[in-house]
């Protein structure tokens, strides 16, 4: 019988590699009996989803912009790289 600790680790690994048939059965059995690990299983999968939402949210946030300093610095680097290219 798996402990919650073992189950949590296997559930995390199931996101990264295929589990053996035997491990999958053991997890299913544990989840049948353990409400806490069921919540964990749901939440760990939700994590993937919400992190992607956070990424999208940042991408779409128009108030986030390059600072003027950064723009100037990058322009300069680009300009000197272009010049050296032509020599």
Q: Binding residues for another protein, per CB under 8 A?
A: 3-6, 8-9, 12-13, 15-17, 35-37, 39-40, 43-44, 46-48, 50-62, 64-67, 70-71, 73-75, 77-79, 81-83, 85
Output 22 or 63, the one with its CB closest to another protein: 63
Structure tokens at 74: 């990058």
Which helix H or strand E contains 7, and what residues bound it? helix 4-14
Cβ proximity to another protein, 22 vs 58, nearer residue = 58
Give me the least distance between CB of 86 and another protein, in Å please: 9
Integer Cα distance of 68 and 58 in angstroms:
19
CA atoms of 1 and 25, how far apart (whole Å): 11
């Amino acid at each position: 019988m798996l402990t919650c600790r073992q189950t949590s680790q296997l559930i995390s690994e199931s996101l990264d590699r295929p589990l053996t048939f035997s491990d999958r059965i053991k997890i299913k059995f544990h989840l049948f009996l353990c409400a806490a690990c069921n919540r964990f299983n749901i939440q760990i999968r939700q994590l993937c989803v919400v992190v992607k939402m956070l990424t999208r949210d940042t991408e779409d946030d128009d108030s986030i912009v390059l600072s003027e300093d950064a723009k100037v610095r990058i322009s300069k680097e680009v300009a000197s790289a272009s010049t050296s290219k032509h020599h």
